[in-house]
Structure 1
Amino acid sequence: MPIVFDNRFARKFPEITTRQPIKPDGEVNLRWLNSPLWAELTNGETPPAELSQWLGGLEHCPGSDPVAQKYAGHQFGHFNPYLGDGRGLLLGQAVVGDKITDIHIKGAGPTPYSRGADGRAVLRSSIRELLASEALHALTIPTTRALALISTQGKIQRERVEPGAMLARTATTHVRFGHFEHCFHRGLEDTMHNLWQDTIEVTWPHLADADIEEQFSQVVKSTAEMIAAWQAYGFIHGVMNTDNMSLAGETFDFGPYAFLDDYQPEKIFNHTDAGGRYGLLQQPGVGLWNLQRLAQAISPLIEADKLRAALDTYEPELRKAYLNRMTKRLGMSSVPAKERMQLVGGWLSLLEVNQADYQLAFRDLIDSLEAKEPKGLLAQSGDSWWQEYNNVVNGESDIDVMKQVNPWVIVRTHHAQRVIEAAETGDDSLLHDYVQALMTPFSERLRESPWAKPPTAEEQVSELSCSS
């Protein structure tokens, strides 16, 4: 195997892991490989012919030591101690120079934590996670990465019988808030301390010798910055349970996620989230609530007043990170912060009243600035905001920056559905083409691309399934 494994997690934490091999589900087929990411993990080595056999479990992946992890978590606000990797296995940690990267297989078969489920993943949800992770990465939003998509011969019963798949993904770490909740619930204080310190060493090596208050403050800051980026790009995670929160502040375990098409910020896409707990507008508050659950879990390691002090930095960090993102998207770095916030508020109100496409409206603004007259939305009903913007920015818009942060292409549910339907028939051409566009979303060549087109009224999706 060209990847050099360390397997430190399996070695260090046997009390919260179970060793087991990938359980194959018939013959496998490599449908997509993230070639740039593979090159990073292997110092540019050519993918071996056996790769699909290794990742699909038909042969042991050389050097790996697969484990399923035990954790707990709050799901829709309620504590559940019975969670764990029910269908995923951590193959190990890939080592390239000083960098350590987790490699994980989703859909690897039942584990001791499957709670009666089949341990499998379907092609539909695997493709959706692949699309989201690579799109977020291209938008510079911290996220897990998709390494490889493998189809299996399995026929998986969900709402319908669906083709099976496995997704190989990478992350800085797969340690979740829920790992610490499990340790707290079970009284595993030594394990908790060792797990915390090991995760900090892997994620932020420069903080390895810092006190735990500074380390926890970094977790708070990274979580705030991640959620601020979600908000700035209209990304709705879908299932922000604490077991889906990465300690590294990376977008993790995508549920029925969505990027907004029309700017309807109160729209809920997860059909199991009847109360709207995890909608776009709720995400910042849920992020803090989840951090409070983490703080409670690690309370044996740090004094309560230090935990509170770190948590108090969450909202200022989120506001700062959000304003920084929106400042770039609206090209107004020369404007004082207070006026920038007013312009952002007015912009969002304009989009909501007109139910404008959230992504392409920013491109309308760029076109307007280049033409020196309102275009698109701004020509139709944005004259007042356009006047205010020009008065405040005073000809100093950062158009070049705007073009580097405002995508032509994002994951749109109607496009994803087309890709999935084609892949289910064995045609991967749309998948490869869409992923390539998502990896280069700011390219001007995509202006006329079919992938840039928002959905028609008939193509709008109001609900998404949580099954995967």
Structure 2
Amino acid sequence: MTALFPFDNSYARLPGRFFARIAPTPVEAPRLVRLNRTLASDLGLDPARLESPEGLEILAGRRVPEGAEPIATAYAGHQFGQFVPQLGDGRAILLGEVVGRDGRRDIQLKGAGPTPFSRRGDGRAALGPVLREYLVSEAMHALGIPTTRALAAVTTGEQVIRETVLPGAVLTRVASSHIRVGSFQFFAARGDVEGLRALADHAIARHDPAAADAENPYRALLEGVIRRQAELVARWLSVGFIHGVMNTDNMSIAGETIDYGPCAFLDTYDPATAFSSIDRHGRYAYGNQPRIALWNLTRLAEALLPLLSDDETRAVAEAEAALSGFAAIFEAAYHGGLNRKLGLATTRDGDASLAGDLLKAMAENEADFTLTFRRLGDAVPEPGSGCEPAAVEAVRSLFIDPTAYDRWAERWHNRLAEEPGTAAERKRMMRTANPAFIPRNHRVEAMIEAAVERQDYAPFETLLTVLSRPYDDQPDFAHYAEAPEGGGRGYRTFCGT
């Protein structure tokens, strides 16, 4: 019988100081909560075998699969602005890499037991955070946002101690790679230029192969990471996503959203919103995410200086030139996304102001972010007949002062009149840019409570079903689009470690 996972483990072939070889710690009584059968098939894996006793033992960390070379990777990172020279995978073990039709993908177990990087932690994960990451990462994928994926969630039959006693679980995570900004910082902090170069060459081969032919391959690598991150954060903002802990060790150079610990989504629009209980000063608030992304990328550029040039002055100039491109890339992606959300297929002077004034009015009037943009799609005026009154009222009702919307809408209607195409085409564009369903925070919490307190996974399954089609109306699930009472104010998330 062929191996369950066709592994080819390029990271494990790097020098030994890049990682620690460590096998998962077996658990007592694993039980499969959910297998992502579609993702398994996309990876060229056999879902039936993954659901078998053999597959369950692998997904729970009780058995090391054939061809795996389990490792915990080493990295450093700035955590809330403070540099920690050694972090690493404290509760995650990379089994290996599979090569499928979409390229190379890491298969990693989160919550698989302690590693040399655990820093006195138990290396385990609680069920709630595992279900949160499974649900939100798959929702992000359905929204069209680059992200790690969830292949499986299993309970372990064991308990973990956090603020209280909780059921343990393991998440099988799939990623284009687990190389982080902090991975480069790890070697830079040690003055290990040889290790830094080996990591950069590996990253180029894996993520930016065209950079190998550039005049300065390491600057090209940096520019690739900058572009991917600028575009990623713009897409986060377009759906109201708040990562919650944008430390440099949580920034993937692949441009995927990674590490969903204290993440959440906006209800009431306020750019100062920060849900994470440990983000006491709002460093990683919704509106700060572009600035923090550039700050993190600057730390990456600093780490790469020895590779950018042998001359320090020239190296700094190369880094600064690469970083100077962030703003234009982000602004183009962000405002392009806002234009699509407003039904604008072309770009004209004044569009950024139009979108910005809507957001300002939403913030002043405590309007729900997702509902406002979704309902705008129904309020597009028809030439000669105007807007459907019920559709207009559905948007107006979201504003404390509905006349604030009226004043803005007049400008929007005038701008739409300058657009080519039909009202129906504009509505279709807006429906593909403005989701009806996001992982509403109160729904996620209710799902976690049902699973943890009552072993009831029905809310988890239902949410997965709804969030797999975020841009469809789904009348049977319309109540899942509703905002929580109070606009979600006072909600807090926790890291889940």
TM-score class normalised by the smaller sequence? over 0.9
**1:218 Cα deviation after fit:** 1.1
Matches within 5 A, 1:12-411: 12-42=14-44, 46-48=48-50, 49=52, 50-97=54-101, 99-210=103-214, 211-302=217-308, 303-336=315-348, 338-369=349-380, 371-373=387-389, 374-378=392-396, 380-381=402-403, 382-394=405-417, 396=419, 398-411=426-439
| C-alpha displacement of 1:345 | 0.7
Question: Secondary structure, in 3 states, of the residue corresponding to 1:150?
Answer: strand
Cα RMSD after superposing both structures: 1.8
Alignment correspondent of 1:465: 494
User: Residues 356 and 377 of structure 1 are in contact (CA less than 8 Å); yes or no, is this contact kept in structure 2?
Assistant: no
Q: Tell me the CA shift for residue 385 of structure 1.
A: 0.9
1:331-365 Cα shifts (integer Å, max 9, x gaps):
112341x3210111111012112211100111211
1:456 equivalent in structure 2: 485
The letter of the residue matching 2:415 is: V
* Higher mean displacement: 211-220 or 394-403: 394-403
Preserved CA contact (<8 Å) 2:72 2:94: yes
Indicate conservation of the 8 Å contact 1:335/1:392, yes or no. Answer: no
Query: 2:393 is paired with a residue of what secondary structure?
Result: coil
- CA offsets 1:361-410 (integer angstroms, 9 cap, x no match): 11211111164442323363311111110011107452111111211111
Pairwise CA distance, 1:417: 1.1
State whether residues 237 and 258 of structure 1, in contact with CA within 8 Å, keep that contact through their aligned partners in structure 2: yes
Partner of 1:445: 474
The answer to which of 358-367 and 375-384 deviates more is 375-384
| 1:397-456 Cα deviation digits (max 9, x unpaired) | 521111112111111111011111221222212111111211210112257523212111
Q: 2:61, 2:109 within 8 Å by CA — same for their partners in 1?
A: no
Give the CA deviation at 1:43: 5.7
Partner of 1:2: 4
Partner of 2:312: none
Aligned counterparts of 1:459 and 1:347: Cα–Cα separation in 2: 20
Q: 1:358 to 1:98 in 2, by over 3 A?
A: closer
The answer as to whether partners of 1:413 and 1:461 remain within 8 angstroms in 2 is no
Amino acid at match of 2:136: A
Residue 422 of structure 1 aligns with an amino acid whose one-letter code is A
Q: Is 2:70–2:96's contact at 8 Å kept on the other side of the alignment?
A: yes
Alignment CA distance shift 1:161-1:245 (3 Å): same
What letter is aligned with 1:330?
L
Code of the aligned partner of 1:349: K
The separation in 2 between residues aligned to 1:362 and 1:121, in whole angstroms, is: 36
Change in Cα spacing, 1:452 to 1:282, as seen in structure 2 (3 Å) is same
Q: Identify which range, 185-194 or 369-378, moves more after superposition.
A: 369-378
Rg (Cα) greater in structure: 2
AA of the residue aligned to 1:401: M
Separation in 1 of the partners of 2:482 and 2:49? 34
Q: Which runs of 5+ in 1 are unaligned?
A: none
- 1:225 touches 1:321 (CA, 8 Å); kept in 2? yes
Inter-partner Cα distance in structure 1 for 2:266 and 2:439: 9
The alignment-based identity, stated in percent, is: 38
* Code of the aligned partner of 2:409: W
Name the CA distance, whole Å, in 1 between partners of 2:191 and 2:442. 47
Give the structure 2 partner of residue 416 of structure 1.
444
Q: Return the alpha-carbon distance in structure 1 between the equivalents of residues 267 and 198 of structure 2.
A: 44
Pairs aligned (count): 467
Tell me by how many angstroms 1:33 deviates: 1.2
Q: State the one-letter code of the partner of 1:350.
A: A
Indicate conservation of the 8 Å contact 1:101/1:172, yes or no. yes
Take 1:404 and 1:47, find their aligned partners in 2: how far apart are those partners? Answer: 36
C-alpha deviation, 1:84, in angstroms: 0.7
- Cα shift readout 1:24-60 (whole Å, capped 9, x = no counterpart): 2311111011111100112666334021111112222
Letter matched to residue 363 of structure 1: R
Pick from 431, 436, 443 the counterpart of residue 465 of structure 2.
Answer: 436
User: CA distance change for structure 1 residues 307 and 335 in 2, over 3 Å: closer, same or farther?
Assistant: closer
Structure 2 CA distance for aligned equivalents of residues 446 and 178 of structure 1: 44
